[in-house]
Amino acid sequence: MDDYHAQRKQLIADDRALRIDHAAQKEISEEERRADKMLRHIRSSEAVSVWSATQPLKHLHGSQQLFPGMAFLTARETIVGTKLFDILSKMPKGGLLHAHHAAMVRVDVLLKLALSQPAIHIRVPAVLCSATIGTALPEFRGLSRAEWTTHPSITDQRYAPDTWVPIQNARSNFSHALGGPEGFDRWFTNIMTINPSEAYGTHNTTGEIWKKFQSTFIAAQGLIFFEPISTEYIREFFYSSIEDGISYVEVRMAFHQKYMTGADGERNVPHRVWLQLYDHILKEVKADMKQQGREDEFVGSKIIYSILRIITPEEIEWYLEDCIAMKQEFPHLISGFDLIGHEDTLLPLIYYAESLLRFVERQKELGIEIPFMFHAGETLGDGTVADMNLYDAILLGTKRIGHGFSLIKHPKLMQICRERDICVEVCPISNEILRLTGSMPMHPLPAVMNQGVHVALCSDDPAVFGNMGLTFDFYQVFVASEVNNLTTLHELVWDSIRYSALSHEEKECAFEKLERRWNIFVRYILDTYGGAA
Ligand SMILES: O=c1[nH]cnc2c1ncn2[C@@H]1O[C@H](CO)[C@@H](O)[C@H]1O
């Protein structure tokens, strides 16, 4: 039997040697070893004290039982009460490499921003009442002074459908029957987020939930593309990321609309002004952090120029040229190019391949570099167009892959990702809410990591999913694996900087800051939970 045990030990070691965190496992300090032991102890005791099937269900949905890594929307309130969540919330996270600009600020904050702007008006296609509230989608717009109205309400029988009402009036005069002003806030939240009964009940397939998902963006766009809101929105995103321990963000911003609406209600603010504003806020936040003596906590942000995958190859030409022009004017901000939107139903990469290849040539001529950071394989399909996007993403030279949910079906592509060091931006909670997986234990992430493909954990659309920051995604991943330990977390955090679009010097500086904060984090675990292990 000794021989068997020796062989067994060796086989496990050989298997784990392929993992992304293998090399780092040996390098940890004594303090980290102790903190890791505590962390794993807390994970296993909370698996019983919090997540075992014998615990009473607080947030019942369908026939769900409690288990670690269970459906996020039902588990969220339980997660925030755990020790492990407390610890992970203190962890420095490095970079957030996959987040959509249109869904990165908490909905209650967005609502507050909207209510602070008298120019913001709302309209609905029907008088809002109990019969229409579930289906009527509102539209928001910042109007010019001449267009402002004094209409009182969208719930009054006298409301003429599709006429503009100041958002403050709409809220304060929201009918009693629908809950008054708080009812308005609840309605707004329902419009902008996905709730558990939708994800796990009424819209429980990828196709159905994407319909609801899209509607949140349609409703939000009139607010976030109104310049006075847009700037505060971005500032809020930086600060809320910092509060969660994120020190760098690479935002996918949709440049599909050529203009946003200015403070004067005119739709005339071009892309270069968006970037000027972004740059300005970025500088202010950095200066503020420096003044607070918190420079280590924020190294900056860049933008991945993104376009919805609905346009024609003729139309994309304008955007590719625009992207190049923006890169030339803001070389430190534009860090990549991507096509976004539902891969299962919209246009595949191959459709744009010719234009994209010319785009690469143009960059060479101009001596600039805008790496592709393509969404690909965000699908349950096998051999479908969305799955096939993976081949094109790789052939076109993508630097990272957004989602790559179906990547593990392709051994050759996995091999190429290892060889060319292509990092996969994995968005665990997004995948679960958009119904690619039922829970974290079903997610392909361990298969990707165990086979040595590097990963950056990302939140995708945290305003819609409720996974603000990165703590929730780290939590779900950490509780769903017995192999992941403190070193795994360390490697994921370091990879999020390693595979970012930061320059070599910027990375060195970011690692230095991260190292200092990591040591503080390890001390926090030991000091706070020292008695627990
Ligand atoms: O996970 C995703 N995959 C692909 N596209 C997405 C995802 N999340 C958001 N968007 C797209 O980004 C736009 C807002 O900027 C939305 O239209 C949405 O379709």
Calculate how far, in angstroms, residue 178's C-alpha sits from the geometric centre of ligand 1.
Answer: 31
Three-state secondary structure string covering 357-412: HHHHHHHHHHCCCCCECCEECCCCCCCCHHHHHHHHHHHCCCCEEEECCCHHHCHH
Testing ligand 1's pocket by substitution, the residue of 100, 233, 310 carrying the most ligand atoms inside 8 A of its CB is: 100
Q: In the predicted model, is pLDDT for residue 56 greater than 90?
A: no
State the chain's mean pLDDT as an integer: 96
> What's the pLDDT at 64?
65
d(CA 242, CA 245): 5
CA of 165 relative to ligand 1 center, distance in Å: 29
Residue 446: pLDDT over 50 = yes
pLDDT tens digit string along 67-100?
999 999 999 999 999 999 999 999 999 999 999 9
Q: 336 C-alpha vs ligand 1 centroid, how far in Å?
A: 16
What does the radius of gyration of the chain's CA atoms come to, in whole angstroms? 24
Angle at 206 between CA 65 and CA 219, to 5 degrees: 105
State the distance from the centre of ligand 1 to the C-alpha of 500, rounded, in angstroms: 20
Mean pLDDT of the region 369-382: 98
Given a contact cutoff of 8 angstroms between Cβ atoms, the answer to whether 272 and 323 are in contact is no
Segment 476-500, tens digit of pLDDT = 999 999 999 999 999 999 999 999 9
pLDDT, residue 61, reads: 61
Mean pLDDT across 104-122: 98
Q: Each residue of 164-184: pLDDT tens digit?
A: 999 999 999 999 999 999 999
pLDDT digits (tens, 9 = 90+) for 271-320: 999 999 999 999 999 999 999 999 999 999 999 999 999 999 999 999 99
Rounded (5°) CA angle 200-187-185: 125
Residues 284, 238: contact at Cβ < 8 Å? no
100 C-alpha vs ligand 1 centroid, how far in Å?
A: 7
Report the percentage of the chain scoring pLDDT > 70: 98
Residue whose CA is at the smallest distance from ligand 1 atom 5: 341
Chain segment 193-227, per-residue pLDDT in tens: 999 999 999 999 999 999 999 999 999 999 999 99
Q: Ligand 1, closest atom to CA 253?
A: 15
Pocket of ligand 1 from Cβ distances under 6 Å:
100-102, 214, 217, 254, 308, 340-341, 375, 378, 430, 460-461
Residue with the nearest Cα to atom 17 of ligand 1?
A: 341
pLDDT band at 533 (very low <50, low <70, confident <90, very high): very low
The pLDDT value recorded for residue 225 is: 98
State which ligand 1 atom lies nearest to the alpha carbon of 434.
1
Q: Report how far ligand 1's centroid is from the alpha carbon of 341 (Å).
A: 5
Alpha carbon separation from 495 to 162, 234, 354, 422, 508 (Å, rounded):
49, 25, 32, 11, 13
- Report ipTM (2 d.p.): 0.92
62 pLDDT more than 60 = no
CA–CA dist 353, 336 (Å, integer): 16
pLDDT bracket for residue 531 (50, 70, 90): low
Q: List C-alpha distances in Å: 396 to 342, 371, 385, 400.
A: 20, 10, 16, 11
Ligand 1 atom 1: residue of nearest CA:
460
Per the CB < 8 A criterion, the answer to whether 156 and 127 are in contact is yes
Rounded to 10 deg, the angle between the 471-479 and 83-90 helix axes is 130
Where exactly does CATH 3.20.20.140 map onto the chain?
85-108+218-519
CA 460 – ligand 1 centroid, Å: 8
Mean pLDDT on 443-469: 98
Candidate of 216, 340, 461 to mutate for ligand 1, largest count of ligand atoms within 8 Å of Cβ: 340
Terminal CA-CA length for the chain: 32
Instruction: State the architecture of 85-108+218-519 in CATH terms.
Output: Alpha-Beta Barrel (3.20)
